[in-house]
Structure 1
Amino acid sequence: MAEQPRRRTTTTTTKPKAKTKKKRRMSGKAWFYGMFFTIVIAIVCGIIGYLLIILNGERLLEEHGSKLEFGEASIIYDVNGNEISRLYDILDHREVADFSEIPQFMKDAIVATEDQRFYEHSGLDFWAIGRALVKDVIARSAVEGGSTITQQLAKNVFLSADKTFFRKATEASIAVALEQQLTKDEILTMYLNRIYFGKGIHGIKAAAEFYFGVELEDMKLWQAATLAAMPKAPNRFNPLVNPDESMNRRAVVLRLMYDQGYITEGEMKEAQAVVYEAPPNQNDMKTGKYYAYSDFVLNEAMKITGLSEEELRVSGLQIYTSLEPQAQDAMDKEFADPSNFEESKDDQLVQGSMIIIDHRSGEIKAIAGGRDYSSRGWNRVDKMRQPGSAIKPIVAYGPALESGKYFPWSTLKNDQKCFSNYCPSDRWGAVPVSMTQAMKDSRNLAAVWMLNEVGVKQGAEFAEKLGLTLEPDDRNLAMALGGLTRGASPLQMATAYSIMANGGKSVDPHAITKITGKKNWEYKAPPSKQLMSPQTAWYLTEMMQAVVEKGGTGARAAIDRPVAGKTGTTQAGIPGYKGNGIKDAWFVGYTPEWTAAVWMGYDKTDVNHLLTKGGGQSAALFAKVMRPAMKGVANDSFKRPNDVKEDKPPMTIKNFKAEFSETGARVLLSWDPVNEKEITYEVYRKESGASDYIRFVDVVTPYVEDMSVFPGITYDYYVVAYDAATNQRSEPSNVVSLAIPEIDIDIPEIPMEPENPTSPPVTPPEEGNQGGEGGNGGTGGEGTDPGTPETPGNTGNPGGGEGEGGLVDPTPPPAGNAGEGVSVGGL
């Protein structure tokens, strides 16, 4: 056999596969023991921790159980270091109630609101704590608390405000200890006797008497819900301080009671609908004085220290203030005098508020929160009201002066009655007026025209720099007359005027100068800012001094030292009401040393509760308070800054006369010339039956012949001098009225021009400017009589119907040829 070929073989070398490391699974037995010991350790730690909490709580309760009582009172001192008020003793009413005296729905209301699981936990509600922690984590801030009623009672044992882990641990310890030693009924009774209900009232029994004038056992469901709403925020949900907030919170409490089965739906709705009224004998429970100032200090101290009201009252602090007793006593005396206020038709008082600030330092010297003000009452000094014309220097004239384009002697136009769809009016008609005179008379049309020229945006920005808070809807021309959504408070208005009085520099109003005790603090003024130029502040001061002079709307505010200020009133704003009633009456003014704001009005305005007198009465109260308040305060003077432009003596038109000449049937107008260069005379005319003046003619000579008159028609004329060099107009001359007699007018025959003239043609004179149609006379406006209200709408006396022609450019066009004696326009 043939040899078979040998098959070639190849050897392939393969690397051994790496061995896969198998994960060792925990056996079920090991997993069980691991979990078992973890749980056991956790339980042991929990038991040990709970025992430590109990032991610590028992120890603390034994050592400090007697501290379930009030702490040391904080004291307020005046500017001289004399005590004026003990916060703890202002209304320190405490009465202990037995468990049997407390109505069941009062207990239910507190449990439903403060601690729904009160009867189920042993001092600590871990479910509530867990829920609160989850919400806090989601919100990334402390938005919900988990404290039980027992914890809240425990917290009151230690009145420190330090919100630390150790503080909360201490609370928890004492809460558990209390649950071990007391029954639920005893804890709830102790809590209701200890709880703070605002206005210095501690305990449910005193609260029932103070807020409702009833014995505890006679309380009704809505009253119990009102009180149950207060522990979280005794001031915010206080029916006296914030009745609307209180009513809303009461509704929440009643809803909780209904949801938890304590009351029926009918009971809930009936109790929700009740409107709170303070009992007539409430003031019998109050003691002390200077309540409004003390309340203002209390709120300021809460912001400074971060303490709650109750904690602050009993923290033993010494609070030093800038209160000037002489000023406060003068203010309290006048606010207690009914003759300073209008008489009401019923028991609802005409209210008022006032604040005095030393604008040189920002220190608040005195505060009146209202007539018959009680502690923690409705402090009107920081409540918003419509400012009326008192806002004109802030939003209209101040920004105009700050622009550098206008001055107190600048002439303002009144000829435009409507700006888009806004049509303000006043009783002055449409005659041009200087800014100073517009301020003195409180003329509405001039203020709106000025704001329109400056711009609403600039006016709003200027007002906000001075501390006013404007809403988006406020940014329109109605702002010039105080038409704001929320308004401004006496404190805000006084602050804005303080800046004017302080040469345009910022002012930081404050009542507290120093705090000592457990917390130490001393006032340090923030860096001063120049919010308006010193020149603008000076011009405003000059203009508002005219307001207080004879004939000004604030003349009754004059005292024995320099005063500048502005009155303000607002219309009723009641749908369907056509009367002249006033809702708000203001005077805001300042001397070189102090600034004060006075407001008068009803808390709730309706057709039966309106004022009839204007800002003059507020101005009179300003004088009555400031005169004795400032006795002994060194007299100063308003400081004139550098670079203030001089106001030339005002131009005046004298001896303006009008005569009818039958020759040519014409009216001859003449007046004394003004001794200035580049003077143009603007002649205005109105014929009988017309509502407006027209700008009839511009001339450069002091006489005019009006050859466009007709028999049987009466014509009224006045003249204004215009200085082109300074862009200044004089005050209007006196108005002259002339009736054209019924006569036959011979029209002279005009000869025909020859076909071949022997002399060159005569060039006719250049025709004068044709005036536009004047504005309508308006209604409303503030009168010069101090008792006449200023009304920024259509409620004043009928205007004179005078109106400026339709000239827009303040520079007049070329006048007619003086050599011809007359240039007729506007026909």
Structure 2
Amino acid sequence: MAERAKRKSASPRKKKKRISGKAWFYGLFFTAVIGIVCGIIGYLLIILNGERLLEEHGSKLEFGEASIIYDVNGEEISRLYTAVDHREVAEFSEIPEIMRQAIVATEDERFYEHSGLDFWAIGRAVVKDVIARSAVEGGSTITQQLAKNVFLSADKTFFRKATEASIAVALEQQMTKDEILTMYLNRIYFGKGISGVKAAADFYFGVELKDLELWQAATLAAMPKAPNRYNPINDPEASMNRRAVVLSLMEKHGYITEQEKLEAQAVVYTPPANQEQMKEGSYHAFVDFALEEAMEITNLSEAELRVSGLQIYTTLDQQAQKSVDEQYANDDNFEKSVDDQIAQSSMVIIDHRNGEIKALAGGRDYEMRGWNRVDKLRQPGSAIKPIVSYGPALESGKYFPWSTLTNDKECFNNYCPSDAWGPVPVSMTDAIKQSRNLPAVWMLNEVGIKNATAFAEKLGIQLEDEDRNLAMALGGLTKGASPLQMATAYSVMANDGKSVDPHTITRITGKNFEWEYKAPASKQLMSPETAWYLTEMMQSVVAKGGTGARAAIDRPVAGKTGTTQHGIPGYKGDGIKDAWFVGYTAEWTAAVWMGYDKTDKNHVLQKGGGQSAAALFAKVMGPALKGVEKESFNRPAEAKEDKPPATIANFKAVFVEEEVKVQLSWDPLEASGLTYEVYRKESGANDFVHFVDAVTTNVDDMSVFPGVTYDYYVVAYDAKTEQRSEPTQTLTVTIPEVELPTDIPMEPVPTDSEPTEPGDGQEGQPGEDGGGQGEDGTGQTEPPAETEPPNETDPGAGQGDGSAGGGDAGATTPPPADDALGDFLNGLESGGE
């Protein structure tokens, strides 16, 4: 063992061959040389290619070919010019230093250091993209952006990016930094159809370029990344947030102080008076909405999209849009404001059969203000009830439009909604027709928050965690819902419960781009029966007596109103914050919202509410649908019919004097499981009372009294559907009076006399009213042990005995006071109506 270990230790080891330092040096040296040579060659190729392109297209100082937007019929409605008509060329000397600093700090912080390509920025962008595994940051310099905007189309390919780099380097070789920056600021797009910083200063602030203040310069510098999103007209809040980012970058690079930053961040934007003069284009709100959609489809920025030479085909129906524009231009359709902040509104119309958005209104004076309210969230009020209360209840299969909501509570777990009717049982149809609050909350409580939330979110209504309580039955949501979201949700009801995909673009074509809309697979979001029941119920809202009666037009309409209270702390006055009507015909769905952009005690709606929104719906939809073929709402074959039982036939009411009762009878109905409800009213009473329920077709009223008149009618009741038939005709029965004579002496009746033989009907003759006396005039007998009723088939029975039971074996003691009372007690036949 030791010998083997010694031999092993003595065996020679294999030595690894080491690379000498000299070899390492030469290897690295030649690798670096090759890399440098390749870099130089590549750089020279870039420069040469850029020089060639500049030589060929150096005079191309205009924007690319404008994209064109068409309506649903292929008619041109707008050209997406880059606003050359609204561009003013500024000299370098006119551009204030604060504007140049703001754009450099935001778009290209190393602008004065690189030669067209910022390799540090490119490297940083590559690293971030690799980490994020997606393109999260770009490395384009101002010079590259200028090359792209001036000389190139907007297609995003490797060769386009390489060409962009070539032109950028060539531009840096032929132009100074100041010239490049000036050209860039003259050509940059600032949204709203405005190009160039000089025109932008005038349009957005009403000032000369040289007079721009810090906050204004920062606002403009914030816009190139997303002109439509970050301009202060379309979205003031997003503009302020982006402006704050620009100011922070300016402070970081030493252009401004912290105090200057804070002051500029705090300024609130107000549009200038001359802005109206710079408007252009038709159907501006629709075009802006379609533009946003096209940007998502093409993955291009707005500036790129405008110069792409694309043909964008949309769903716009000019007849519908003109109807919208006409009514929104009519101030009589809206409440008058106490100042220059006008009452606002928005509307969107969707063809729910295919999801095409036919028309929309972003607001009154939209072109001036630019805030597209179609996709802005507001509190939906009672318009949410079909979505969170009644829809889920119907979908459960446990409730129907005719179901009675017992609604026996005023408070639910310490939540006490107000309702003018109080906790009164009501059918679901009447509850929605009259927009009652307590039934909606009661119904949501029965359905459950979880089920209601799931149902609403399927329809596109997003609910926050804090919304998941009973208050959502009345539309008390944290963020609310937009007119587009509400119209989409109601479109599902109108589309037999199937999903609807709202869109404005059907096709986009271009030199290097082809796209066509393909509808996503349809989903059944609610049963066709639920959709039908909701439609059926909401048609009552538009009928006489409904809260949305003013929405009625010349074709069937279903819909729901909604209002929300102002909710202003400390303000005790009346006022409405949001007013809605969301409704649909068999062809199109529309949502109308009214209110103020900023609600305070001086800016709340004081009248009309949902009724005003309903009236605007009718004024727009009537002309908009002119010429559109009328269709009918689809009733599914499986839907249960809201049909009461048939009216009862052959109703009779007869007074049976022998038994002192009124006998009621009628023909049976074919339907099974019915109950017959008998109603009675006696003379002197104001109303009928529910007398008795029966499962057979005859009832005896044994509680009648002489001299009283009784009225009767009967209805059939179906417990399954909770429906009642129409009442029968009312029948009247008068019970005869009993007159007691006063001239008949009363004689004692012997108690020990032998019974006399009853008359045989020959010697004794019946009295005038049918009573009988014996020959001796007394007809007195011992009372039998048990009296039997007279033989109804033997009219002569009991004649001549003078007893009280005509046909009894003998009279009881004492005898009747007179013949009339005897006749009554003997039950002689008498008819009644």
TM-score, normalised with respect to structure 2: 0.77
Does 1:433 find its partner at 2:426?
A: yes
Match of 1:353, SS state, is strand
Counterparts of residues 255-404 of structure 1 (less than 5 Å): 255-374=248-367, 377-404=370-397
- Please report how far the alpha carbon of residue 598 of structure 1 lies from its aligned counterpart in structure 2 after TM superposition: 0.5
Residue in structure 1 matching 2:625, options 630, 645, 665: 630
Does 1:565 find its partner at 2:559?
A: yes
Q: Which 10-residue stretch deviates more, 116-125 or 218-227?
A: 116-125
Contact 2:437 2:474 in 1 (8 A): yes
Match of 1:633, SS state, is coil
Does 1:36 find its partner at 2:29?
A: yes
Residues 562-617 of structure 1, C-alpha deviations (whole Å, 9 max, x = no match): 11110000111222222221110000111111111110011111111111121000
Residue in structure 1 matching 2:544, options 540, 550, 557: 550
Q: Which 10-residue stretch deviates more, 287-296 or 136-145?
A: 136-145
Letter paired with 1:620: A
- Please report how far the alpha carbon of residue 18 of structure 1 lies from its aligned counterpart in structure 2 after TM superposition: 4.1
Q: Which residue of 1 aligns with 2:498?
A: 505
Match of 2:412, SS state, is coil
Q: Identity of counterpart residues, as a percentage?
A: 77
Residues 479-505 of structure 1, C-alpha deviations (whole Å, 9 max, x = no match): 111111211111111111111111112
Q: Which residue of 2 aligns with 1:813?
A: none
Residue in structure 1 matching 2:213, options 217, 220, 226: 220
Match of 1:520, SS state, is strand
- Please report how far the alpha carbon of residue 413 of structure 1 lies from its aligned counterpart in structure 2 after TM superposition: 2.5
Contact 2:563 2:580 in 1 (8 A): yes
Residues 733-771 of structure 1, C-alpha deviations (whole Å, 9 max, x = no match): xxxxxxxxxxxxxxxxxxxxxxxxxxxxxxxxxxxxxxx
Contact 1:397 1:450 in 2 (8 A): yes
Q: Matches of 2:78 and 2:358 in 1, distance apart?
A: 16
Does 1:112 find its partner at 2:126?
A: no
Residue in structure 1 matching 2:240, options 243, 247, 250: 247
- Please report how far the alpha carbon of residue 25 of structure 1 lies from its aligned counterpart in structure 2 after TM superposition: 3.5
Contact 2:116 2:165 in 1 (8 A): yes
Match of 1:498, SS state, is helix
Letter paired with 1:536: T
- Please report how far the alpha carbon of residue 89 of structure 1 lies from its aligned counterpart in structure 2 after TM superposition: 6.4
Higher relative contact order (CA 8 A, sep 6+): 1
Contact 1:369 1:381 in 2 (8 A): yes
CA change 1:72–1:210 in 2 (3 A) is same
Match of 2:400, SS state, is coil
Residue in structure 2 matching 1:541, options 526, 535, 555: 535
- Please report how far the alpha carbon of residue 352 of structure 1 lies from its aligned counterpart in structure 2 after TM superposition: 0.4
Contact 1:159 1:311 in 2 (8 A): no
Match of 1:225, SS state, is helix
CA change 1:258–1:730 in 2 (3 A) is farther
Q: Matches of 1:431 and 1:729 in 2, distance apart?
A: 18
Does 1:192 find its partner at 2:194?
A: no
Letter paired with 2:428: M
Q: Which residue of 1 aligns with 2:163?
A: 170
Contact 1:132 1:145 in 2 (8 A): yes
Match of 1:156, SS state, is helix
Q: Which residue of 1 aligns with 2:575?
A: 581
Does 1:83 find its partner at 2:73?
A: no
Match of 1:367, SS state, is strand
Letter paired with 2:642: D
Residues 10-53 of structure 1, C-alpha deviations (whole Å, 9 max, x = no match): 99995895433333443333333333333222222222222222
Q: Matches of 1:467 and 1:11 in 2, distance apart?
A: 83
Contact 2:643 2:723 in 1 (8 A): no
Residues 665-716 of structure 1, C-alpha deviations (whole Å, 9 max, x = no match): xxxxxxxxxx99547899xxxxxxxxxxxxxx998579xxxxxxxxxxxxxx
Contact 1:722 1:728 in 2 (8 A): no
Contact 2:149 2:304 in 1 (8 A): no
Residues 628-650 of structure 1, C-alpha deviations (whole Å, 9 max, x = no match): 11111122222222122222439
Match of 1:374, SS state, is helix
Q: Which 10-residue stretch deviates more, 459-468 or 130-139?
A: 130-139
Does 1:617 find its partner at 2:604?
A: no
Contact 1:74 1:313 in 2 (8 A): yes
Match of 1:67, SS state, is coil
CA change 1:30–1:508 in 2 (3 A) is closer
Q: Which residue of 2 aligns with 1:705?
A: none
Q: Which residue of 2 aligns with 1:411?
A: 404
Q: Matches of 1:355 and 1:51 in 2, distance apart?
A: 56
Letter paired with 2:616: L
Q: Which residue of 1 aligns with 2:763?
A: none
Q: Which residue of 2 aligns with 1:772?
A: none
Q: Matches of 1:14 and 1:276 in 2, distance apart?
A: 93
Q: Matches of 2:645 and 2:373 in 1, distance apart?
A: 43
Contact 2:66 2:82 in 1 (8 A): yes
Counterparts of residues 637-648 of structure 1 (less than 5 Å): 637-648=632-643
Residue in structure 1 matching 2:438, options 440, 445, 450: 445
CA change 1:722–1:421 in 2 (3 A) is farther
- Please report how far the alpha carbon of residue 342 of structure 1 lies from its aligned counterpart in structure 2 after TM superposition: 0.4
Contact 2:125 2:137 in 1 (8 A): yes
Q: Matches of 1:42 and 1:515 in 2, distance apart?
A: 44
Contact 1:291 1:375 in 2 (8 A): no
Counterparts of residues 613-692 of structure 1 (less than 5 Å): 613=607, 614-649=609-644, 678=675
- Please report how far the alpha carbon of residue 428 of structure 1 lies from its aligned counterpart in structure 2 after TM superposition: 1.4
Q: Matches of 2:345 and 2:308 in 1, distance apart?
A: 33
Residues 777-822 of structure 1, C-alpha deviations (whole Å, 9 max, x = no match): xxxxxxxxxxxxxxxxxxxxxxxxxxxxxxxxxxxxxxxxxxxxxx
Q: Which residue of 1 aligns with 2:455?
A: 462
Letter paired with 1:57: G
Match of 1:236, SS state, is helix
Match of 1:429, SS state, is coil
Q: Matches of 1:319 and 1:369 in 2, distance apart?
A: 20
- Please report how far the alpha carbon of residue 214 of structure 1 lies from its aligned counterpart in structure 2 after TM superposition: 1.0
Letter paired with 1:453: E
Q: Which residue of 1 aligns with 2:56?
A: 63
Residues 43-102 of structure 1, C-alpha deviations (whole Å, 9 max, x = no match): 222222222221121112212223342111111111222111112167852111000000
Match of 1:567, SS state, is strand
Contact 2:385 2:473 in 1 (8 A): yes
Residue in structure 2 matching 1:22, options 3, 10, 15: 15
Letter paired with 1:308: S
Q: Which residue of 2 aligns with 1:236?
A: 229
Contact 2:675 2:693 in 1 (8 A): no
Does 1:598 find its partner at 2:592?
A: yes
Match of 1:201, SS state, is coil
Contact 2:64 2:153 in 1 (8 A): no
TM-score, normalised with respect to structure 1: 0.77
Kindly name which structure, 1 or 2, has the bigger radius of gyration based on alpha carbons.
2
Letter paired with 1:464: E
Letter paired with 1:205: K
- Please report how far the alpha carbon of residue 358 of structure 1 lies from its aligned counterpart in structure 2 after TM superposition: 1.4
Q: Which residue of 2 aligns with 1:136?
A: 129
- Please report how far the alpha carbon of residue 176 of structure 1 lies from its aligned counterpart in structure 2 after TM superposition: 1.1
Q: Which residue of 2 aligns with 1:748?
A: none
Q: Which 10-residue stretch deviates more, 30-39 or 386-395?
A: 30-39
Could you tell me which runs of 5 or more consecutive residues in structure 2 were left unpaired when the two chains were aligned: 648-668, 680-688, 695-714, 726-833
Q: Matches of 1:375 and 1:543 in 2, distance apart?
A: 40
Question: CA RMSD for the aligned pairs?
Answer: 2.8
Contact 2:457 2:463 in 1 (8 A): yes
Could you tell me which runs of 5 or more consecutive residues in structure 1 were left unpaired when the two chains were aligned: 1-9, 653-674, 683-696, 703-720, 732-827
Match of 1:726, SS state, is coil
Q: Matches of 1:635 and 1:443 in 2, distance apart?
A: 32
Q: Matches of 2:6 and 2:551 in 1, distance apart?
A: 116
